[in-house]
Each structure stands twice: as C-alpha cells, then as structure tokens.
A and B are shown apart, each in its own frame.
Chain A
C-alpha cells in the first residue's frame, strides 16, 4: 500500500499538513470567489484614459498598484490558482485509493489539476494574434499586438462574404382612435409616399428622413450630425379629416413617446432596426511553396486549422467589404484542457449520480 507509506512519509511535514487541510482549501476557494467578484465590478483591461474617465487619479493609482485593473492575470491571482492546485494535489494524493467509491473523487480532483496545467501550457507556449487580409492578398505574417510573427506557410483570402437576414428594417405603425374604435396599420417606410389610413379620413405623408437628428442651435434648422443612424427620425405630414388642415411632426425611432401630440387622436410609431447580420465567411487557401495544400470557407463557429494554427473568422471592415479579420491562435494546451473537461464531467457524474445508487444498493 504505497498510499499509506506516502502518508507516513509526509504526514508530519507541516507544509504537507497545511495543503491537505480542507479548511485551507475552502479558504482559498472563498478568496478566489471574492477576488473574481471584484474583477467584474471594476472593468478590466481598459486603456489609461478610459480608466481616468471613470476614476480619480489617486483611486486609479491605487487600483493599478493592487493589480485590480488586470486582476485575472495578476501575480497574486495566479498565486491563488497555484495554491489551489497544490491543495488539490496534496489532498488527492492523501486520499488516494483505488476503491470503487473513491474513483469519482480521484477523477474529479485530478481533472481540475489537469485543466489548470493545460491553461499554464497555453499561457506559456500559446500564440494569439490577428491578421487583416484583403481579397486576393497572400500573407505569411500575423500580429501579436504590434509584434509581427512569421508563419511557416502562406494564407490567401479568395473571397469574403457578408450575409444579411432579409427583413423590413424600417416601418411605421399608425394607430387612430375613431368613435371609440381603434385602427392600427403597419406600413413600410417610403419617403414621399402618401398613405390613406383605411377606415379613417386621415392621410399621412413621409416628407424627410434623417439618420442622426439634431437641431442647429442658431438657425433652428433640422439637420443630421453624421451619416450613422444614431438618432433616426422621420418628418411626417398629417392631413386632418376635419377641414383638411395639415400638421407636421418629427417622429423618432429611439424616443417613441417624444412628440405625443395630445390634441390629435392619431399616433404614429417609427420602428427602425439595423439590418441584422446573418453570417460572415472567408474563403481561405493555405499555400506551401506556391502550392495550395488546403482550402476552406470559414465562418463564425467554424474555423480552419493547419499545423497547430487555427484561423477564426473574427471581424470584418464595414467600410471595405473585401477585407476580413482573422484571429490566429496556436494553443498547445487545448487538448490537455479538454481531457480535463471530459474527466471533470465524468467524475462529477460518478460522484453525484453513480455513487448514490451504489450506496443504496449496499445498504439494502
């Protein structure tokens, strides 16, 4: 029984005793939990000026000194994770036994050590960079931050494809109350078109669209600040059934209650939705010595892997749809981590679903 020998060998070592204690284990777990919580209240990994917009200079210096702005990568958080690993290691060895009822415990606790090991391998040996590629362009360099890094092969973008969902992105809802009855209609937005609101005598006409509504402070004229749809607005002309007089109002997609003209019994709501992206894809080719050795159309959730490097569809340039943004990652720790994941799920299932059944059978 080697485990008993082990126990005798180490049992009196105070450091060993310390790490095998459940109290110490629980304390480490609690400290990690509290630290993690702090890291979600203080935004992480922002730029200097972004922090200074949120916090005073003094406070920011304190946060920085305590590594609270890069908490999860700080030396003290890493130390906590290593302490947890030691605690797991010692207690797993201490309780080591090949009895059936210990198998779940063994697999679960060693799986966490394996996951942490895989994470360490990824941090030390991994590469994580980015590559912008234009259609037709061939490249063998990607960038880790600003530092260029050479690949052993070349990659070419054959084509970049952006797909949208087909939907009416702009429409208006007109509701009219007439003699206690309410009518509601939905129309597509067409500037210049006149709409007869059925069942009522109202006529409405869409006069003008501005993507980013603003009123000039001096001239009191309506204009658009930018071409981006930050505050889309429509100018509507309403022809009243009584007397045929017309009125004019602006309606805003982002502020539906803004005009609320109490005098009339007609209400118009402007629905504006940006076109939704369905998918973006890049047709990629891997070249070695000018020969195509692999080609694949990648999309989000479906990357390309070649010689340990994985190319993820990460981004694109809305201003230039011939350019694709690829995340380039090499992480030799992933197989280790996944082994740990499988063991963890399996081990927990044994502890919480299989063991109780075995125990019940033994009791009967």
Chain B
C-alpha cells in the first residue's frame, strides 16, 4: 500500500521539478535552479522508496512487467542525469531529464499496477542483473538523446524542427501503443506485417499534427539561448552513449546466459533479442565513426536520435506489437 503513496509523491516531485527547471531557464537565478535540483532529488528519493516498497510488498524483485519497468526507468534517468550533472555541470539539460522521468512515470497511469506473481522462467537472480544493467543503459541513452535534442534546438531552423519531431515520435509512439493495449485493440496489430507498418505511419502522422504547435511554443520561448555550448552538448551525447554501451552489452549478455539456463539456448532471434541486437549495432556504428573518424556535430547527433528511437522500439514496441518470449512484459 505504501508504494502507491510513494509513487504519488514521486510524481509530485518530478512534476514540480519539471516546472521549476523550466522557470530556471528564464529566471537565471541560483536559488531557482537549486530548488529545481532539490525537487528532482526528492522525487528520486521517493521513487527509490516506491521501488523498495513494491519489492517488499510483492516479496520479489519489481522488474517483471511494463508498469514496473517504467517506474525503474524514471528512477534510472534521474540517477544517470544527476550523476552526469555532477561531472559536466549541464544544468539546463535538467529540464529535459526531469520531463523524461515525468513522462516515463506518467505512462504507468495507463498500465495495470497490480503485483502479479512471477511465472517460472522469471524466477531467477538473473532477473535483477539483466534488468538493472539494461535500465542503467536505457537511462544513459535517454540522457544522450536529451543532449542531442538540446544540441539541435540550439542550432534552430530545420534542426530544431527535426529535434521537436523526434520528441513527438518518442512520446506519441508509446502512448498510442499503451492506449491501444488498454482498449484491447492491439490484437490485430500483433505479428501482422501490414498492421505493424500502418501503426508506424499512424505514429508519424499524429506526431506531425502535434509537432506544429509544440514547435512554435518552443520557438517563441527562445529556449536555445539558455542551452549549454554546442561542444559541451556534443561531448555529453558521446560520453553518455560511451557510458551506457557497456551496460547495454552486459545486460544483453546476462539475458543470453539466463536464456541458456532456462531454455537451453543463449540466442534465438526472438524479436526482443533481435531488436536489442539492432540497438547494439546502431550504437556500435556511432561509436566507431566517432572514434575513428571523429564524427561530431549535426549528423552524428541526428544519428544518435535515431539510435534512441530504436531503443524505444526495443523497450516498448516489441513487447506489444510483435509477440515473442518477452510478451509477458505486457
């Protein structure tokens, strides 16, 4: 019961943090910024309490379904952002990170919160290792995305437009999927090539409709003036991917070893496995080009945004749209 109170407090913390962070962009005062960080940290503490509470209520690690994953993601984003902020001092990115935590937590209200017992295959210590490693990497990729978006917004013009469109895609896609799943309307989309492609187009279209008002609001606020230097943002994009990538590989390998223990095969081209493989390839390409060719700037950051959209497909899309071994995560 306590965990639901803590979730409400977490929600309040992230919500207020998002608002005060937004204000701090325009009122360049230290006190405003400090209260924003304090609220974000407070939300993070409540989020921790909510996870621990759910763990003790369910007497099992709370990492088994979409509701619990999103609760963990909100937590991991706060953790990774606050950690990276300690090193790089990227205060103005706080507004994006706090919103990302808030959105991740907000999605949970669309989902079933009941604590279900674990099915046999999930009863393993690998569950915690696999999930926690992957969510640290997801959070690092989210921070890289946030920095890439800030970078493109700072460049204004068409780049700002693309950045905002990517935000629309990242928010509309999961919302659409959760809403369809909640209404019990997702059945026909599952494993049907035509419907999967149609759903992609619906997401592109709805995002385009939402894009226009959001673009003009953000443009009017002249938010780009308050963003950090382009070179700093560029470095945050690279470093958070470089930080998250080993965690992602480790988490995927932990999943492979676990699968071998449960089902007798470490790799089976299950859709979830395949999409994590694709994610791995996309970020591997980014890291190679960065390392060997010094790939920086506009196109590199656009590519990292594509990488993050692939992460969203891996994390949410696959579970609902393409059935497979991870479908229990619904």
Q: B263 near A327 (CB under 8 angstroms)?
A: yes
Q: A39 near B196 (CB under 8 angstroms)?
A: no
Q: Which of A7-61 contact B (CB under 8 A)?
A: 22, 25-26, 29-30, 32-33, 36-37, 39-44, 54-55
Chain B's nearest CB lies how many Å from the CB of A330?
A: 10
A277 close to B (CB within 8 Å)? yes
B42 close to A (CB within 8 Å)? no
B90 close to A (CB within 8 Å)? no
- For B264, list chain A residues within 8 Å (CB): 128, 303, 310, 312, 314, 327, 329, 331
Partner of B269, one of A30, A39, A167, A303: A39
- For B123, list chain A residues within 8 Å (CB): 279, 300-301
A75 close to B (CB within 8 Å)? no
Q: Which of A270-329 contact B (CB under 8 A)?
A: 276-280, 299-303, 310, 312, 314, 327, 329
- For B292, list chain A residues within 8 Å (CB): 22
CA distance A262 to B59 in the complex (A): 41
Partner of A277, one of B120, B260, B293: B120
Interface string of A100-120 (1 = CB under 8 A from B): 000000000000000000010
Interface string of B199-235 (1 = CB under 8 A from A): 0000000000000000000000000000000000000
Q: A40-B275, A72-B269 are in contact. Are A276 and B285 (CB under 8 A)?
A: no
CA distance A26 to B284 in the complex (A): 9
Chain A's nearest CB lies how many Å from the CB of B257?
A: 7
Chain A's nearest CB lies how many Å from the CB of B79?
A: 17
Interface string of A119-149 (1 = CB under 8 A from B): 1000000001000000000000000000000
Q: Which of B97-123 contact A (CB under 8 A)?
A: 116-117, 119-121, 123
CA distance A280 to B250 in the complex (A): 29
- For B124, list chain A residues within 8 Å (CB): 301
- For A280, list chain B residues within 8 Å (CB): 120
- Interface stretch among B5-13, B14-22, B153-161, B240-248? B240-248
Q: A348 near B245 (CB under 8 angstroms)?
A: yes
Q: A33-B282, A329-B264 are in contact. Are A278 and B192 (CB under 8 A)?
A: no
Q: B267 near A353 (CB under 8 angstroms)?
A: no
Q: A278 near B250 (CB under 8 angstroms)?
A: no
A341 close to B (CB within 8 Å)? yes
B49 close to A (CB within 8 Å)? no
CA distance A277 to B284 in the complex (A): 40
Q: A41-B197, A329-B264 are in contact. Are A26 and B257 (CB under 8 A)?
A: no
Identify the closest chain A residue to B120 (Cβ).
Answer: A300
CA distance A119 to B268 in the complex (A): 11
- For B288, list chain A residues within 8 Å (CB): 22, 25-26
Partner of A303, one of B193, B261, B278, B289: B261
- For B269, list chain A residues within 8 Å (CB): 39, 44, 72
CA distance A102 to B124 in the complex (A): 37
A152 close to B (CB within 8 Å)? no
A195 close to B (CB within 8 Å)? no
Chain A's nearest CB lies how many Å from the CB of B217?
A: 34
Q: Which of A339-361 contact B (CB under 8 A)?
A: 341, 344-345, 348-349, 351-353
Give how many B residues have a beta carbon under 8 Å from the other chain's beta carbons.
Answer: 46
Q: B196 near A33 (CB under 8 angstroms)?
A: no
CA distance A44 to B323 in the complex (A): 12
Q: B120 near A353 (CB under 8 angstroms)?
A: no
Q: A314 near B119 (CB under 8 angstroms)?
A: no
Identify the closest chain B residue to A327 (Cβ).
Answer: B264
CA distance A300 to B120 in the complex (A): 6
Partner of B285, one of A30, A334, A341, A345: A30
Chain A's nearest CB lies how many Å from the CB of B232?
A: 17
Q: Which of B117, B281, B284 has the most CB of A within 10 A?
A: B281
B56 close to A (CB within 8 Å)? no
A338 close to B (CB within 8 Å)? yes
A176 close to B (CB within 8 Å)? no
Partner of A29, one of B263, B275, B284: B284
Q: A314 near B263 (CB under 8 angstroms)?
A: yes
B180 close to A (CB within 8 Å)? no
CA distance A113 to B274 in the complex (A): 19
A251 close to B (CB within 8 Å)? no
B4 close to A (CB within 8 Å)? no
Chain B's nearest CB lies how many Å from the CB of A331?
A: 8
Q: A301 near B246 (CB under 8 angstroms)?
A: no
- For A25, list chain B residues within 8 Å (CB): 288
Q: B253 near A301 (CB under 8 angstroms)?
A: no
- For B61, list chain A residues within 8 Å (CB): none
Q: B285 near A29 (CB under 8 angstroms)?
A: yes
Chain A's nearest CB lies how many Å from the CB of B50?
A: 24
Can you sample 28 A-B contacts with CB below 8 Å? A25-B288, A26-B285, A36-B281, A37-B275, A39-B274, A40-B318, A42-B193, A43-B191, A54-B193, A72-B274, A128-B265, A165-B117, A167-B117, A278-B120, A279-B120, A301-B121, A301-B258, A301-B262, A303-B261, A312-B262, A314-B264, A329-B264, A334-B266, A341-B257, A345-B249, A348-B250, A352-B246, A353-B246
Q: Apart from A165-B117, A279-B123, A302-B261, what are 16 other A-B pairs with CB-CB below 8 Å?
A: A30-B281, A32-B281, A33-B281, A39-B274, A40-B318, A43-B191, A54-B193, A276-B119, A278-B117, A280-B120, A301-B258, A301-B261, A329-B264, A341-B253, A344-B249, A352-B246
Q: Which residues of B are at the interface with A, using a C-beta cutoff of 8 A? A: 116-117, 119-121, 123-124, 191-193, 196-197, 242-243, 245-246, 249-250, 253, 256-258, 260-267, 269, 271, 274-275, 277-278, 281-282, 284-285, 288-289, 292-293, 318, 322
